[in-house]
Structure 1
Amino acid sequence: MEFEEITPGPLLADIHSPDDLKKLDEEQLVEVSDELRDYIIDMVSIHGGHFGASLGVVEMTVALHYVYDTPEDLLLWDVGHQAYGHKILTGRREQFHTNREYGGLSGFPKRSESKYDTFGVGHSSTSISAGLGMAVARDLDESDKKVVTVTGDGAMTAGLAFEGLNNAGFLDSDILVILNDNNMSIDPNVGALNEYLVDITTSKTYNKLRDEIYDMLGHFKSAGKKMRKVASRLEKAVTTAITPGGLFQALGFKYYGPVDGHNVDTMRRHLEDLKDIPGPKLLHAVTVKGKGFAPAEREQTKWHAQSSPFDKITGKQLDPDTEPKPPKYQHVFGEAVVELADENEDIVGITPAMPSGSSLWPLMNKYPDRAFDVGIAEQHSITFAAGLAAEGKKAFAAIYSTFLQRAYDQVIHDVAIQKLPVVFCIDRAGLVGADGPTHHGIYDISYLRNVPNMIVSSPLNEEELRNMMFTASNFDDYAWAIRYPRGRATGMDYPEEFSSMEIGKGQRLREGDDIAILSFGPFGNYVMDAADDLSEEGIKVGHFDMRFAKPLDTDLIDEVCHTYEHIITIEDGTKLGGFGSAVTEYLADKPHHIPTTIMGVPDRIVEHGTQEELHDEVGLDPKGIKEKVKEVMQAQSLNA
């Protein structure tokens, strides 16, 4: 999309760094916040991007950069899509139209992008641990910089956040954790912690008493040393006696709040007060995801992110494409798991905070007692699934590839070693696009196929996905991983009935002459396109849809070796240790084998862009396949 210039408000226009923000009077911060919110709405309505989370922390962002001396003071954002306002205030406003575009700004904080991005983050719940590491490094260096982490959008539900809190309370380093409590991740927050926070924010007795104590004693800065000690003891007694804040105090944190995260003056005053209080502190700020944009406040999950232009007043999509589109792979999964659950009452579904992203909502709506959103708790989700499987349930764990990385020990220790038949339905496999390297699902083939008692499969299309799920639902020997990409499927017509699939067996799709292409997963559709073009040029390649990286169809590979002179493998995962490696490992043990070329994602960090742009960059699109075939043919002719 061409850049459409958006004019910032008069105050925001003069802010190119936090130093410019600090030149304003305190009374002007409300206006700056309004201008920043309007600018984010204007930008995302045209160029797309994450939306609701950044709108919810506008006042917090302004107050933080006004009070703290960033980047000398260290500010960490968790999760990263809260940081749009932060990026705009730290010198990137004029480049912000390139956000999440190929070659442009990252949608998340990124250390190589700005000195104000102190820690890169795409996954949730890392800020407290990283911030504590920075605080301890500061203590070792005997410097006086401050460390502040903003933990929100459901991030506090993850075990890593509590591991960081527990260690921070023990080490007693000076760190401020801001809990951005908006009751949301992408979908509504779940769990006992969420209910605990709701109790805090709705306790009239506690809030009234807290406000009265605060008013009586005055601001911490203006109080004398003796009075500050009295205030601290009284506050501790109150919070311990009537529960709110007691959890965080038990972990060694001084608890403050809850406060209105949308009152920039309130946020500023509290931050100024807390800046001079030593030790671990937690400020509980209550916010609304999507604040200031009515449609986003009403439908917070829908407005978590937007990819299409919309009317910034009504929220209606502009020039909607009414052409029918193929279903997304995640929706094919969502419909299929319900159909399977209709026939098998032992089927259950589990997802770590992604019922929308992984399309588990249909199962949750139809069978609410058999579908579970466990919150941002990937490790727990897998061991929870293992426990269900141990008691005879057929557990379908719907999880993003990049999130499954966080539960790798549970995959091995709790599932594979015990030969439990958990079905891993791995969404967002391959290069995912604009979310970039923190979300690319390119490692799962490698990290799963070396685990015993694990089938690793990937479908060419919708029909194969459904049939893999059906076959897995009736397989009880051990675990099965089914990986599929983000985005649209092929749009093929597939049978309504499921069919069993022979485990470890591929299929021949096209006969050829000298070169055979073995594809694993949806990239086989690119191979079909490339093979059609090559055929018009008189080049005939064989094409084999392998379906399984483990177990391999070694009979089919042997047949290929007897018929062709060269093998090319292709996959939407890393070249190192993936499907292509599995093929070459098998051939290495054969006394006579043909040369093999592996096509996959190279051993480097691939940045963000559309999936098509990234496939082109790494040479895995139809054009790249054709070029590789011709390169192999040229090498063969030179060696002839």
Structure 2
Amino acid sequence: MSILESVSSPDDLKRVPQADLPELAAEIRELIISTVSRNGGHMASNLGVVELTIALHRLFDSPTDCIIFDVSHQAYAHKILTGRAAGFEKIRTSEGYSGYFEPSESPHDVLALGHAGCGPSIALGIAHAKRMRGEEGYVVCVVGDGSLTSGLAYEGLSNIVALNPPNLMVVLNDNGMAISENVGWLAKWRDRWLPRLRDGLELDDDFQTLERVTERLAPKVPFGEFMLSLGRGLKGAMQKAIIPEIGMVWDELGFNYLGPVGGHDIDELLQVVTGARQYSDKVPFLHVLTKKGYGWDPATEEPVRYHQPGPPQRGVRKQLYSEYFAGVLAEEMASDERVVAISAAMLEGTGLVKVAERFPDRVFDVGICEQQAVSMAAGMARAGLRPVVCIYSTFLQRAFDQIMHDVCMNDLPVVFAIDRAGLVGQDGKSHHGLYDLAYMRIPPNMVVAVPRDEVEMGRLLHTALHQDRPFALRFPKGEVSGVRMPEDRRLTPIGTAEVLQEGKGICLAAVGELVHTALAAGETLAREGIEVQVVNVRFIKPIDDALVQELCDNFTDVVVLEEGTSVGGVAAALLEAIARLRGSGPRVHQLAAGDIFPGHGEQDELRRLLGLDEAAVAHKVRTIAEG
């Protein structure tokens, strides 16, 4: 029986002999590696935080004590140690556990969390509420893997210092990286001092050995106690000489800085965390140095590649939408020197790495600072550039005020390239891009367009860069359609739809990849004698008024297909247009993802479960046709 098989809760972990904890860490790593290699998921981040997670769960009493991981994609070892080892092999599948914190799985997962930077604020809120209500329990906030490139994290840390709760500890999991390499002053500061940090750890080991020897000899030799005191003073002075800034900054901010500590030495972690709990004058800030991918050479050597590897590829892979978009963006940048690209810590994910290599002075990574990305784009547009903000849908929502206030209120030509729109699959409810159609329709002056394939995406990007107004371009996660069409960059008239299949009575009005679903359903229905019209709506704002008039004149029913929330999207835009133009019109039916936060699983499986596949569309039309 392995050690891990005997651990189904933090209480079990506390009974494992301390000498066996390194073996337990190795078994946890083996389970993570085998599972993520099969299912996909966050590999390198989780391999780097195993020992720290063991130490925290051994010393704290979760769930009475709350342990929060920011970002919670670092929580695989946490899940394994809190009763989910047996089902861990199904993580990120529809019948398995989430890859992020998920309270419905376990009380040890404090909140459903998937975005970076919110941990300190949430931890402060819980800690302060416990004090106000007279409840027991400590709160530990583990920040890292890029979270401290987020401005929100510093807002939380600032307020932690202001309230100074005695039941809160901040732990920095410092692996020097986020998804890819960090940017900004903090990253440069760390790069400057990392060699000294490593030297400081080695020096500390030497001094601890000497200190233990001196403690044993002090009572037996003349002036022994004096020599011990002198040695301890020398140790402190030498450490401050080697690492003069790293701790001073956090101390000056108002924390009780402890560290740096080696993050893969369980004995040292247990000792330091135990000591940190004794501080009550200021909130302890424990600085732990870890190595992303620790324990598995491929992930250590290529931490970016193994940050979040996907499941094994079957067959020949087509180009991804992100890759295709980056290619057409590079062509636009080559023909217009005003065009620049901005990413919020997602150069890899948005396909911009090669674009940055080609145009190093025109691609900007601002870190996990979505608000900064949009405000910076507004400034660039005001000064005559044509910025393209390349960002995941789920992260763009963090910058809504900047979209509204900085860009749209000033009617600036900023292009929002909204990647991972729609259902994203295994990352689940914190990462689905289901809400951008609704919130991007709100700001005045905004154009919102959804291409049905990669060729139309290229044309719409070209169109967007030739507008003097804000423009949102939405495209999905996954492979391109592989269409065979001319790839010219002709302009697409704003606010125009496209009829792809003629019909009568019933119209399927779709956007994005669901246009192909509508066409397939239309072919199936045609064989049954039901002739439906299929329309690529394409522009959600402004919607095609001529299309709306035609629908009112010639159709009894319109079925809207949209891979987004059922609130405020395409169906809402159509109904608003009918009310504005005619007052009444055809019956409007909606097939959407619902007013929910859908879970995780394969994209096609989620579409089937949500009624967005071909069979569901055809069934809906049959039901309407039968009256």
TM-score interval w.r.t. the shorter chain? Answer: over 0.9
Cα deviation digits, residues 574-624 of structure 1 (max 9, x gap):
111111101001112314422211221211221111111111111111111
SS in 2 for 1:412: helix
1:199–1:139 distance in 2 versus 1, CA, 3 Å: farther
Please state how far the C-alpha of 1:257 moved relative to its aligned partner: 1.4
Q: Could you say which residue in structure 2 is the equivalent of 1:198?
A: 191
1:91–1:139 distance in 2 versus 1, CA, 3 Å: same
- Where structure 2 has 5 or more consecutive residues not aligned to the other structure, the ranges are 213-228
Alpha carbons 1:256, 1:282 under 8 Å: kept? yes
Please state how far the C-alpha of 1:566 moved relative to its aligned partner: 1.4
Cα deviation digits, residues 8-59 of structure 1 (max 9, x gap):
x711111111111111222111111111111211222233322111101011
Counterpart CA distance in 2 for 1:297 and 1:241 is 25
SS in 2 for 1:50: coil
The partner residue of 2:574 within 558, 573, 583 is 583
Cα deviation digits, residues 510-550 of structure 1 (max 9, x gap):
10121011112221111011111111111110011111000
SS in 1 for 2:306: helix
SS in 2 for 1:345: coil
Q: Could you say which residue in structure 2 is the equivalent of 1:544?
A: 535
- List aligned pairs for 1:206-217, cutoff 5 A: none
Alpha carbons 1:425, 1:482 under 8 Å: kept? yes
Please state how far the C-alpha of 1:634 moved relative to its aligned partner: 2.3
Counterpart CA distance in 1 for 2:470 and 2:533 is 32
The partner residue of 1:269 within 265, 268, 271 is 271
The partner residue of 2:392 within 394, 397, 400 is 400
Structure 1 counterpart of 2:564, one-letter code: G
SS in 2 for 1:508: strand
1:210–1:166 distance in 2 versus 1, CA, 3 Å: farther
Please state how far the C-alpha of 1:633 moved relative to its aligned partner: 1.6
1:255 to 2:244 alignment: no
Counterpart CA distance in 2 for 1:435 and 1:139 is 34
The partner residue of 1:573 within 564, 569, 575 is 564
Cα deviation digits, residues 338-364 of structure 1 (max 9, x gap):
000010011100000001111111210
Structure 1 counterpart of 2:482, one-letter code: G
Q: Could you say which residue in structure 1 is the equivalent of 2:215?
A: none
Q: Could you say which residue in structure 1 is the equivalent of 2:301?
A: 298
The partner residue of 1:420 within 412, 416, 422 is 412
- List aligned pairs for 1:321-332, cutoff 5 A: 321-323=314-316, 325-332=317-324
The partner residue of 2:35 within 37, 43, 53 is 43
Question: Which moves more between the two structures, 145-154 or 589-598?
Answer: 589-598
- List aligned pairs for 1:280-295, cutoff 5 A: 280-295=283-298
Please state how far the C-alpha of 1:281 moved relative to its aligned partner: 1.4
The partner residue of 1:79 within 71, 88, 94 is 71
Q: Could you say which residue in structure 2 is the equivalent of 1:221?
A: none
The partner residue of 2:180 within 180, 187, 205 is 187
Question: Which moves more between the two structures, 119-128 or 559-568?
Answer: 559-568
Counterpart CA distance in 2 for 1:83 and 1:153 is 12
Q: Could you say which residue in structure 2 is the equivalent of 1:489?
A: 480
Alpha carbons 1:99, 1:105 under 8 Å: kept? yes
Counterpart CA distance in 1 for 2:315 and 2:583 is 57
1:239–1:130 distance in 2 versus 1, CA, 3 Å: farther
Aligned length: 604
Structure 2 counterpart of 1:119, one-letter code: L
Structure 1 segments, 4+ long, off by >6 Å, are 208-218, 234-237
- List aligned pairs for 1:372-387, cutoff 5 A: 372-387=364-379
Alpha carbons 1:462, 1:489 under 8 Å: kept? yes
- List aligned pairs for 1:323-342, cutoff 5 A: 323=316, 325-342=317-334
Q: Could you say which residue in structure 1 is the equivalent of 2:524?
A: 533
SS in 2 for 1:445: helix
SS in 2 for 1:572: coil
Structure 1 counterpart of 2:432, one-letter code: H
Please state how far the C-alpha of 1:238 moved relative to its aligned partner: 4.2
Cα deviation digits, residues 552-587 of structure 1 (max 9, x gap):
101122122222221111111111111110100111
Counterpart CA distance in 2 for 1:198 and 1:268 is 27
SS in 2 for 1:437: helix
Counterpart CA distance in 2 for 1:409 and 1:571 is 25
1:533–1:74 distance in 2 versus 1, CA, 3 Å: same
The partner residue of 1:111 within 100, 103, 110 is 103
1:437 to 2:439 alignment: no
Alpha carbons 2:380, 2:387 under 8 Å: kept? yes
1:507 to 2:486 alignment: no
Counterpart CA distance in 2 for 1:49 and 1:209 is 37
Q: Could you say which residue in structure 1 is the equivalent of 2:149?
A: 157
Please state how far the C-alpha of 1:235 moved relative to its aligned partner: 8.7
SS in 2 for 1:368: coil
Alpha carbons 1:159, 1:377 under 8 Å: kept? yes
Please state how far the C-alpha of 1:217 moved relative to its aligned partner: 8.1
Cα deviation digits, residues 308-329 of structure 1 (max 9, x gap):
24xxxxxxxxxx5343x43211
Q: Could you say which residue in structure 1 is the equivalent of 2:589?
A: 597
SS in 1 for 2:165: coil
1:236–1:595 distance in 2 versus 1, CA, 3 Å: farther
SS in 1 for 2:92: coil
Structure 2 counterpart of 1:283, one-letter code: L
- Where structure 1 has 5 or more consecutive residues not aligned to the other structure, the ranges are 1-8, 219-226, 310-319, 636-640
Question: Which moves more between the two structures, 393-402 or 263-272?
Answer: 263-272
Please state how far the C-alpha of 1:213 moved relative to its aligned partner: 7.7
Alpha carbons 2:102, 2:109 under 8 Å: kept? yes
Cα deviation digits, residues 54-113 of structure 1 (max 9, x gap):
101011111111111222211001111111111111111111122111132111111121
Alpha carbons 2:72, 2:100 under 8 Å: kept? yes
Please state how far the C-alpha of 1:210 moved relative to its aligned partner: 6.2
Please state how far the C-alpha of 1:240 moved relative to its aligned partner: 12
1:88–1:591 distance in 2 versus 1, CA, 3 Å: closer
Cα deviation digits, residues 108-140 of structure 1 (max 9, x gap):
111121011122211111111111111101211
Alpha carbons 1:239, 1:245 under 8 Å: kept? no
Alpha carbons 1:458, 1:522 under 8 Å: kept? no
Please state how far the C-alpha of 1:211 moved relative to its aligned partner: 6.3
Please state how far the C-alpha of 1:493 moved relative to its aligned partner: 2.0
Alpha carbons 1:327, 1:488 under 8 Å: kept? yes
Q: Could you say which residue in structure 1 is the equivalent of 2:62?
A: 70
SS in 2 for 1:203: helix
Give identity over the alignment, percent. 38
Counterpart CA distance in 2 for 1:239 and 1:415 is 48
Structure 1 counterpart of 2:546, one-letter code: D
SS in 1 for 2:429: coil
1:45–1:348 distance in 2 versus 1, CA, 3 Å: same
Give the alignment's TM-score, normalised by structure 1.
Answer: 0.91
Counterpart CA distance in 1 for 2:541 and 2:498 is 15
Please state how far the C-alpha of 1:494 moved relative to its aligned partner: 3.1
Q: Could you say which residue in structure 1 is the equivalent of 2:248?
A: 246
Alpha carbons 1:401, 1:429 under 8 Å: kept? yes
1:111–1:592 distance in 2 versus 1, CA, 3 Å: closer
Counterpart CA distance in 1 for 2:55 and 2:339 is 49
Give the alignment's TM-score, normalised by structure 2.
Answer: 0.92
Counterpart CA distance in 2 for 1:160 and 1:125 is 5
Structure 2 counterpart of 1:490, one-letter code: S
Q: Could you say which residue in structure 2 is the equivalent of 1:60?
A: 52
Structure 2 counterpart of 1:201, one-letter code: L
1:102–1:509 distance in 2 versus 1, CA, 3 Å: same
Counterpart CA distance in 1 for 2:298 and 2:380 is 39
Please state how far the C-alpha of 1:166 moved relative to its aligned partner: 0.4
Alpha carbons 1:568, 1:599 under 8 Å: kept? yes
Counterpart CA distance in 2 for 1:38 and 1:274 is 30
